[in-house]
């Protein structure tokens, strides 16, 4: 029965039942964590061979370069060739960087603030510059822009990507809007895959600011949970067709492919953008970790298809966890009409919405020993206007721990719904 159709008596009985269950969970002294979008240890084990795949004599690139030494600022040529298919670009459109794509996003945005883009006035010299933030979105993206002094502007997400009518209107009328954050494949946290139409509308954007950039973070581009993953139009390719190739920076990394923190990150962009970025890069590093690039090449035997096969092993480990989350939510909540949630085809998160209840659910879970990402974390300034969104990260706990955590979660969601309805 839907909670909205329960009379007071039924609601009180429903609350009493939820409270009884909840008290039992509290007494169990659980200590579970669904807050972190991290690979589990068994996923990390898949890549253990990367630490031993280079022999002592194996330190030369194909062109004979000694990778132990300085040099080769924009990445090994074979690393560019290997990683180019990840972002769907040509090898010469890529810089292969260090261990973190977030670091490169920070660096490119910070560079725009201090030095401007392609000869334009530095963003930091304006009284105010703004960045569009599709919501819910990735908290660290928003934090980067806020830290650099930008104003964050919410843009609603739809099933096929950000609301492009709003994006097009805002960027066309306001030249203080300099950027937008996008996670086009399996967005964090909604799991949204931008449609080809949305990609093409991004590619054809006509911003008032000439130095506007799309920060296209394709962090989950090979992180599928299904055997028939969606295929997406390529932003840079579409932007070229639209004569607009300078509009985007595209990012990815192997953080959740090999080992987070010891992976390889990359940025792809147009020829103009890359020239400008490489020049600036030369002032901040003499070169990235080429031995790690070499390790990645050796581990995958230089074949991108091996990386795709490796991702199938990740899929086998984590798809059952996403099933546990969805099955538990379906079984316990679908008849109550109190919430909706994503059932993503890839990525690392499930996005759960229950209007007016997010903070209360997170608090109830915490008091019963289950840690969730803070309510509001997926919104600029941590403010969820409807107090509805919770990001669930199923990958790190074991299946057994996850099931227990989800049992507490649905019990907390029901209790919060009962309290809300009774308070009306």
Footprint of ligand PLP (CB under 6 A): 37, 100-102, 138, 183, 188, 217, 219, 253, 255, 260, 265
φ, ψ for residue 290 (rounded to 5)? -75, -25
| Closer CB to ligand PLP, 100 or 108, in the complex | 100
Closest CB 306 distance from ligand PLP, rounded Å: 20
Cα–chain center distance at 241: 27
**Percentage helix, strand, coil for the chain under 3-state DSSP, each rounded to 5:** 45, 15, 40
Closest CB 188 distance from ligand PLP, rounded Å: 4
Rounded to 10 degrees, the C-alpha dihedral 114/115/117/120 comes to: 110
Q: What angle do CA 48, 52, 54 make, to 5 degrees?
A: 130
| Closer CB to ligand PLP, 38 or 355, in the complex | 38
| Closer CB to ligand PLP, 183 or 236, in the complex | 183
Closest CB 189 distance from ligand PLP, rounded Å: 9
State the residue for tokens 């990525």. 347
Instruction: Concatenate the DSSP letters of all residues of 397-424 into one string.
Output: S-HHHHHHHHHHHHHHHHHHHHHHHHH-
State the residue for tokens 């299946």. 399
Closest CB 310 distance from ligand PLP, rounded Å: 17
| Closer CB to ligand PLP, 218 or 273, in the complex | 218
| Closer CB to ligand PLP, 43 or 244, in the complex | 43
| Closer CB to ligand PLP, 262 or 363, in the complex | 262
Q: Is 419 exposed, middle or buried (0-12, 13-18, 19+ CB in 10 A)?
A: middle
| Closer CB to ligand PLP, 253 or 292, in the complex | 253
| Closer CB to ligand PLP, 39 or 207, in the complex | 39
Residues 6+ apart with CB under 8 A from 8: 422
> Pairing between strand 265-268 and 248-253?
antiparallel
Residue 73 and residue 75: Cα distance in Å, rounded? 6
| Closer CB to ligand PLP, 188 or 342, in the complex | 188
DSSP letter at 98 equals S
Q: Is 57 exposed, middle or buried (0-12, 13-18, 19+ CB in 10 A)?
A: exposed
Closest CB 396 distance from ligand PLP, rounded Å: 12
Q: Is 8 exposed, middle or buried (0-12, 13-18, 19+ CB in 10 A)?
A: exposed
Angle, helices 290-299/77-87, rounded to nearest 10 degrees: 60
Residue 162 and residue 156: Cα distance in Å, rounded? 6
Cα–chain center distance at 57: 38
Closest CB 187 distance from ligand PLP, rounded Å: 8
| Closer CB to ligand PLP, 38 or 298, in the complex | 38
Query: Cβ(379)–Cβ(152) under 8 Å?
Result: no
Closest CB 183 distance from ligand PLP, rounded Å: 5
Closest CB 138 distance from ligand PLP, rounded Å: 4
Closest CB 206 distance from ligand PLP, rounded Å: 26
Closest CB 62 distance from ligand PLP, rounded Å: 25
Prior bond to 393 cis, omega within 30? Answer: no
């Amino acid at each position: 029965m839907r909670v909205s159709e329960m009379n007071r008596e039924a609601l009180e009985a429903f609350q009493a039942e939820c409270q009884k269950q909840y008290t039992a969970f509290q007494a169990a002294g659980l200590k579970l964590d669904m807050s972190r979008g991290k690979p589990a240890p068994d996923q990390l084990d898949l890549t253990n061979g990367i630490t031993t795949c280079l022999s002592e004599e194996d330190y030369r690139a194909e062109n004979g370069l000694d990778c132990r030494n300085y040099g080769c600022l924009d990445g090994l040529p074979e690393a560019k060739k290997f990683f180019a298919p990840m972002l769907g670009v040509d090898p010469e459109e890529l810089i292969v960087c260090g261990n973190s794509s977030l670091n490169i996003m920070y660096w490119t945005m910070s560079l725009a603030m201090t030095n401007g883009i392609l000869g334009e006035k530095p963003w930091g010299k304006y009284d105010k510059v703004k960045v569009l933030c599709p919501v819910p979105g990735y908290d660290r993206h928003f934090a980067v822009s806020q830290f650099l002094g930008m104003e964050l502007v919410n843009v609603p997400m739809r099933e096929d990507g950000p609301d492009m009518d709003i994006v097009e209107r805002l960027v066309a009328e306001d030249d203080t809007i300099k950027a937008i954050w996008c996670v086009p494949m399996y967005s964090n946290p909604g799991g949204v895959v931008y449609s080809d139409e949305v990609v093409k509308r991004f590619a054809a954007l006509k911003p008032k600011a000439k130095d506007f950039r799309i920060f296209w973070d394709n962090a989950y581009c090979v992180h599928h949970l299904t055997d028939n993953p969606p295929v997406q139009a390529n932003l840079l390719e579409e932007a070229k067709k639209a004569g607009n190739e300078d509009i985007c920076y595209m990012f990815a990394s192997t953080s959740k492919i090999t080992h987070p923190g010891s992976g390889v990150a990359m940025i792809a962009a147009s020829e103009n953008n890359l020239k400008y970025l490489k020049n600036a890069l030369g002032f901040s590093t003499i070169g990235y970790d080429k031995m790690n690039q070499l390790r990645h090449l050796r581990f995958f035997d230089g074949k991108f298809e091996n990386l795709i096969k490796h991702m199938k092993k990740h899929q086998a480990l984590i798809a059952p966890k996403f099933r546990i989350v969805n099955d538990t939510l379906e079984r316990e909540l679908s008849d109550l009409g109190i919430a909706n949630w994503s059932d993503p085809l890839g990525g690392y998160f499930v996005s759960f919405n229950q209007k007016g209840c997010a903070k209360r659910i997170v608090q109830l879970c915490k008091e019963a020993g289950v840690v969730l990402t803070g309510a509001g974390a997926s919104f600029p300034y941590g403010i969820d206007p409807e107090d509805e969104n919770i990001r669930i990260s199923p990958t790190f706990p074991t299946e057994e721990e996850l099931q227990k955590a989800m049992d507490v979660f649905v019990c907390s969601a029901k209790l919060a719904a009962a309290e809300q309805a009774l308070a009306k």
